Structure 1
Amino acid sequence: MLDYIDKIRRLLKIAINVPFYSQKLTNIAITSEFLDSCSNDELLSAFYHISPITKQDIRNAPYQLLATTQNIVYRGATSGTTGGAFVFFRDKIWNDKRLASLNKFLAWWGIDEQVDIAHVNSRLFPLRHQDYALIGGIDNTFLQRLNFITKKPLVLRGYPSRLCEVALIAQNRIDFSNVQAIICTGEPLFDHQKQVLMDIFGCPIITEYGSQECGVYGFSCPVCGNLHIDEGRCLIEEKDNRLLVTDFYSYTMPMIRYYNGDLVTTEHNGSCPHGRVNVTILGRDGEKFGVSQSLYPIRGVDYYRSISTKDNTRLVGYLNQVNAKEIDRFFAQEINKIFPDDSSLLIQKFVSPMDLYKATMPPMQDKFFSDCIPLDVFNYPQFFLDVVKGDRWIYYNIPNVILDESYRLLDNSHYCIDEQLKLDKLYLLLMISSKKRNIPSEELENLFYKYKKSNRLSLIYLDLLAICLFRKHHKLLKLLPRNNLDFKIIVDSFDYQLIVKLVSLGIQQVRKKKESLLIKKINPLLPLFISDLDYCSLYGVDCLPSIIAHWAKILGCYHDNDYNKNLPQELKQREKVLLDKREINFTFNYLSNSTILQLKELLIQVVLFDISIDNNLWLDIINSKENKTKGKKNLTDVIAFVPFMNYFAKLFLQQGEREKTYNCLLMSANISNSNDNFDSVSGLYNFKQKIF
């Protein structure tokens, strides 16, 4: 008990200095002096007098919750299910506690790091670094991918409604014997859905509970079957069936007695070793059905949903396995109250869950049940291309189940040279993206001689050079020509993806060592490298090897000066600053006449040496420069200053300008094209069910 009281005390000490809470807490006599001297009983009494907050309260001015900009490693956005979304930030302590909580829950069910969790057909991102997600319409391509990953033991995670659709469509085509458990999250799990999943997958069905703001903090228990909360991370309360949550570790933006939008019942259970509090999720507060009116549960009706079909007919389907005409009549009456003027309204009763899901799927998914093809007929090049494009897949590391088949890309002699090139580059990209496997030196040397012999080394030169510089393949590096190339470097999208991945992994490795001044001061760092690629448009693509070598040097992967000849002067000066640890004398005069590249290099020194600046003036100059170049140059111009937004956020917070602090943090997002693709595609197919 003392442990959670100490956590409340610490959180309140942070909140007392946050504008969103300061007056609220002062009004009920919670001050710094009170928190230092009060007893535990006095603290709890005061805590429960704090008025609850809602999403709407936060949406009005989320920046008023900001307590610090230090050690931010996570940014998220609320789902927007019960209103508009807002972006929030969390620090490393919160993120570590979130993952520890998840691993504890998984351990209840015997799920360890050796078992991958595949997130299926939802907008859920992987939580652990070994996990991945698969999305898209449930067509033959989707089923092929699902069939592929279920060849090895795994756990499936997703929204219950989407998992049921996948299960019902795939049940006679895919062997699910390797699925060890199903984790349902994001929606209440109805009894008929649980039965469908148990019948088809034949494995434990686990209920997970959490929110974007607080992470996963509840799991169903294998001992008692109830949903327990991690009481070490969160304090929950039930008030009029509405759930209030206090996140003990929300130090960056405190969440205290927060209505998260869920309707619940709770009860205390002192007999289960995994938790003292049982929670039952009833649904969402203010959930809307149809246009504007909430609908309550109807006795005898298991589940119902509404959808507009292609011909503008509104179909309301409901599942009722009990043949009772009075229930059917009452249901029809209630639905007609919601759509009183809808002449195209169609109400249809279903006994089979499969029939209900078929009838109420989105029109775009009509083709699910037509033109079945064998799922083992596999186009591996296209499959691996889908993986690296990221429109159906998202992952931290290439999953082993995919990586194990990558050898197929090297057996490509029956393809034309252009296709061979694409497959060879795909293989290199997959190996680098796996982060676990080094490419054998003999394979790299074979690729070198293969393309050198055919006088096409220019096509793969950049890939081989980048791998040598960042992965220290010294023998091949000696074979590669250096400054005076007798060919024009050819660059394609595979090259850029590979190089960006190598630099990203290099940054991660240096960040663990915490030795680099650049790593300590500038975050996120990857956009700085991507913006450096803009030098190529100024100096020609032949300077690209020099830029890659420059980054390999400042990240400690490479130490010679062999590629300095074509290095732009600004980057040569940067190396002196970073490697010789001495300041170059840039002047602050004539800032408005400086180029974007000059401003960026000057800002690196400002951040590294904590030089005093007028941050408002700097932001005005940066904005004016970007407004002039947007639409005329590529994305790298726009992101050139992303790595410095955290620094500006710190300055604005010191000045008490929280709105500018928050906006700078919003602009400090790392760059991830695969995440962007995934989010846009998942939005087309993966909607949540309406809950009643």
Structure 2
Amino acid sequence: MIKYVIKHITFPLIARREGLAGIMRGVESLEESQYWPPERIRELQNERLRKLLVHAYENTAFYKKRFDDSGFNPYTFKDADELAAIPVLTKEQIRSNVDALKARNFTPGELHHAETGGTSDVKMRFFRDNRCMPMKEAAIYRFNRWAGWDFGDYLGMVWPAHQDFIGHDTWKSRIRNELYKRNVLFPAALIDDRACEEYLRLFEKKKPAAILAFCSPIHELAKYMAKKGIDGHRVRGLITTGEPLYDHQRRLAADVFRCGVLDSYRTREVGPIAQECGAGCGMHVNAECLYVELAGKRRLAGSGEQAGGVIVTDLLNYGMPFIRYNMADMAVMSDKTCPCGRGLPLIDKIVGRALDVFVTPDKKLVSTIALVMYMVNAAPGFFGKMQIVQDATDHLTLKMTRDPLPGPEVMEHQKNVVERIFGPRMRMTYEFVDDIPCEKSGKYLFARRLIPIPE
């Protein structure tokens, strides 16, 4: 009964009060269009691109100049492939041109501001128009429903980003949460046994249908549960986001919570970009809301796959258009057809932040996923935390904690992996430390590149 009341009465009412009227219709629309054939989805993207490009040219000083300087004519635009003529938009350009990027046909009251965390790149303030927000929220709920969650269900949140929940500890906010989003929050910026115990007690009381979590903190919670032999906290599905999901993290979380794990690619700037559906064919792009392309493709060492920088055009935000925005991530696209029946385009894998993708001495790219697979998962022994730092084109520093120190067989294995992936010219140095702290956002950086990728 309470779930019905929340889904059909309190959630829509509070959403309307928040300026998000139409979320439910948006979810219904997306759940219909996700099964359209790829050709029809592409037509929708081209139609929305045409309107956006003309709007940006006519209403923003930034894109008027950018299109003119690059010789791009928005009035003759026909297909998304033509976007390559427009230069890529960077965070630094946004920071320096906020006013020029805002559309002059929106009043200040029709816009609201947000900002990125700035923990893995520059911090950035940006704006979105109020009209686009219901559909952006609907895209989030569409993805959440793939994990078995529905309106009126509790949603476990293992979330280190404190700024997302400022002011959520008052009695008014707690009542509102019970009648609206029903988040069961674990503010996981700092995780210890006591914090895990308290959250699991709350978890048992609320019994969330699904969990949305950053990869590192949910892994720490799963390790605690496995260590203590805690069972019975089953959910319908678990969604990970915020940082790379490694195979050993996926396996442990799936085992502890007895459910499938769906990796999700979500951002503050443009919202949810892509998510796995559970069929194992990759991540479905949120194509009704975004156009995603790859730029500067390079071969990955080992697999030979073509990886490129993720470039996103937001099809919904007219208040401050993001056209060919550089996400500073690297990915591999897929041309597979998913057996789930959705016609949405597929990302095969996110190979890492552009800052974290490594390069061999002969200029091939190496993904962090590959490094974890071979240096951690396949290692013949146990060791503590590890962080790989590339500080020269021919040198890596392996930081490792002493809890426990790696044995000789592990170190020999890792040296062999480095030589096999990077080639014999790559040198490697070990540095043993007491701890490898997470970033301010709670993200744990397994890999860090301190040099530019050679042209």
Q: TM-score range by the shorter chain?
A: 0.5 to 0.7
Matched, 1:269 2:336: yes
Residue 138 of structure 1 aligns to a residue in which SS? coil
Q: Aligned residue for 2:220?
A: 165
Q: Aligned residue for 2:255?
A: 199
Q: Aligned residue for 1:10?
A: 51
Matched, 1:153 2:207: yes
Q: Aligned residue for 1:521?
A: none
Letter in 2 for 1:138: I
Letter in 2 for 1:61: N
- Out of 188, 193, 196, the residue aligned to residue 143 of structure 1 is 196
Q: Name which of structure 1's ranges 131-140 and 88-97 shifts more when overlaid on structure 2.
A: 131-140
- Out of 346, 359, 384, the residue aligned to residue 278 of structure 1 is 346
Per-residue CA deviations over 1:5-49 (Å, capped at 9, x if unaligned) read 221112112221312221111134445xx52xx3635xx464331
Matched, 1:301 2:356: no
**How far off its partner does 1:217 sit?**
2.7
User: Quick check: which one's helix share is greater?
Assistant: 1
Matched, 1:233 2:289: yes
Letter in 1 for 2:85: H
- Out of 67, 71, 75, the residue aligned to residue 25 of structure 1 is 67
Letter in 2 for 1:134: F
Letter in 1 for 2:207: P
Matched, 1:112 2:122: no
- CA–CA distance in 2 between the matches of 1:262 and 1:4? 22
- Out of 301, 310, 318, the residue aligned to residue 251 of structure 1 is 318
Letter in 1 for 2:342: H
**How far off its partner does 1:70 sit?**
4.8
**TM-aligned CA distance change 1:6 to 1:203, over 3 Å:** same
- CA–CA distance in 2 between the matches of 1:95 and 1:207? 23
- CA–CA distance in 2 between the matches of 1:339 and 1:281? 26
Per-residue CA deviations over 1:206-252 (Å, capped at 9, x if unaligned) read 11112110111311113344210111000000121111111101211
Letter in 2 for 1:245: V
Contact 1:71 1:91 in 2 (8 A): no
Contact 1:120 1:157 in 2 (8 A): yes
**How far off its partner does 1:94 sit?**
2.1
Residue 27 of structure 1 aligns to a residue in which SS? helix
Letter in 2 for 1:153: K
**TM-aligned CA distance change 1:195 to 1:47, over 3 Å:** same
- CA–CA distance in 2 between the matches of 1:166 and 1:117? 16
- CA–CA distance in 1 between the matches of 2:405 and 2:211? 25
Contact 1:69 1:252 in 2 (8 A): no
- CA–CA distance in 2 between the matches of 1:97 and 1:246? 15
Contact 1:73 1:95 in 2 (8 A): no
Residue 85 of structure 2 aligns to a residue in which SS? coil
Residue 66 of structure 2 aligns to a residue in which SS? helix
Residue 109 of structure 1 aligns to a residue in which SS? coil
Contact 1:269 1:275 in 2 (8 A): no
Q: Name which of structure 1's ranges 1-10 and 55-64 shifts more when overlaid on structure 2.
A: 55-64
Matched, 1:65 2:101: yes
Contact 1:70 1:91 in 2 (8 A): no
Supply the RMSD in Å over aligned alpha carbons: 3.8
Q: Aligned residue for 2:415?
A: 329
User: Scaled by the length of structure 2, what TM-score is found?
Assistant: 0.65
Matched, 1:52 2:88: yes
Q: Aligned residue for 2:327?
A: 260
**How far off its partner does 1:133 sit?**
2.6
- Out of 227, 241, 244, the residue aligned to residue 185 of structure 1 is 241
Q: Aligned residue for 2:278?
A: 222
- CA–CA distance in 1 between the matches of 2:277 and 2:196? 31
**How far off its partner does 1:100 sit?**
1.1
Contact 2:117 2:123 in 1 (8 A): yes
Q: Aligned residue for 2:382?
A: none
Aligned residues, how many?
344
Contact 2:351 2:357 in 1 (8 A): no
Letter in 2 for 1:287: D
Mark the structure with the bigger radius of gyration: 1
Q: Aligned residue for 1:351?
A: none
User: Quick check: which one's strand share is greater?
Assistant: 2
Could you list the runs of 5+ residues in structure 2 that have no partner in the other structure? 1-41, 166-176, 298-307, 359-364, 378-384, 389-397, 449-455
Q: Aligned residue for 2:444?
A: 688
- CA–CA distance in 1 between the matches of 2:118 and 2:427? 23
**How far off its partner does 1:149 sit?**
2.2
- CA–CA distance in 2 between the matches of 1:175 and 1:325? 35
- CA–CA distance in 2 between the matches of 1:163 and 1:15? 41
Q: Aligned residue for 2:356?
A: 287
**TM-aligned CA distance change 1:74 to 1:688, over 3 Å:** farther
Q: Aligned residue for 2:432?
A: 346
Residue 322 of structure 2 aligns to a residue in which SS? coil
Residue 443 of structure 2 aligns to a residue in which SS? coil
**TM-aligned CA distance change 1:71 to 1:691, over 3 Å:** farther
- CA–CA distance in 2 between the matches of 1:109 and 1:249? 25
**How far off its partner does 1:192 sit?**
1.1
Letter in 1 for 2:259: C
**How far off its partner does 1:255 sit?**
0.6
Letter in 1 for 2:45: Y
Contact 1:301 1:319 in 2 (8 A): no
Residue 40 of structure 1 aligns to a residue in which SS? coil
**TM-aligned CA distance change 1:48 to 1:121, over 3 Å:** closer
- CA–CA distance in 2 between the matches of 1:112 and 1:94? 22
- CA–CA distance in 2 between the matches of 1:284 and 1:217? 15
Q: Aligned residue for 1:499?
A: none
**How far off its partner does 1:687 sit?**
3.5
Residue 100 of structure 2 aligns to a residue in which SS? helix
Q: How does 1:88-107 map to 2 (within 5 A)?
A: 88-107=126-145
Letter in 2 for 1:257: R
**How far off its partner does 1:260 sit?**
0.3
**TM-aligned CA distance change 1:276 to 1:210, over 3 Å:** same
Contact 2:352 2:367 in 1 (8 A): no
- CA–CA distance in 2 between the matches of 1:114 and 1:163? 23
- Out of 95, 98, 116, the residue aligned to residue 78 of structure 1 is 116
- CA–CA distance in 2 between the matches of 1:62 and 1:319? 49
**How far off its partner does 1:144 sit?**
3.6
Q: Aligned residue for 1:546?
A: none
**How far off its partner does 1:176 sit?**
4.3
Per-residue CA deviations over 1:72-104 (Å, capped at 9, x if unaligned) read 464321232442111111122221111111222
- CA–CA distance in 2 between the matches of 1:143 and 1:264? 33
**TM-aligned CA distance change 1:146 to 1:225, over 3 Å:** farther
Per-residue CA deviations over 1:581-618 (Å, capped at 9, x if unaligned) read xxxxxxxxxxxxxxxxxxxxxxxxxxxxxxxxxxxxxx
- CA–CA distance in 2 between the matches of 1:15 and 1:156? 38
Could you list the runs of 5+ residues in structure 1 that have no partner in the other structure? 308-312, 348-358, 364-681
Q: Aligned residue for 1:527?
A: none
**TM-aligned CA distance change 1:97 to 1:206, over 3 Å:** same
**TM-aligned CA distance change 1:175 to 1:305, over 3 Å:** same
**How far off its partner does 1:141 sit?**
4.0
Contact 1:53 1:257 in 2 (8 A): yes
**TM-aligned CA distance change 1:138 to 1:27, over 3 Å:** closer
Residue 355 of structure 2 aligns to a residue in which SS? coil
Residue 302 of structure 1 aligns to a residue in which SS? helix
Q: How does 1:467-486 map to 2 (within 5 A)?
A: none
**How far off its partner does 1:688 sit?**
3.3
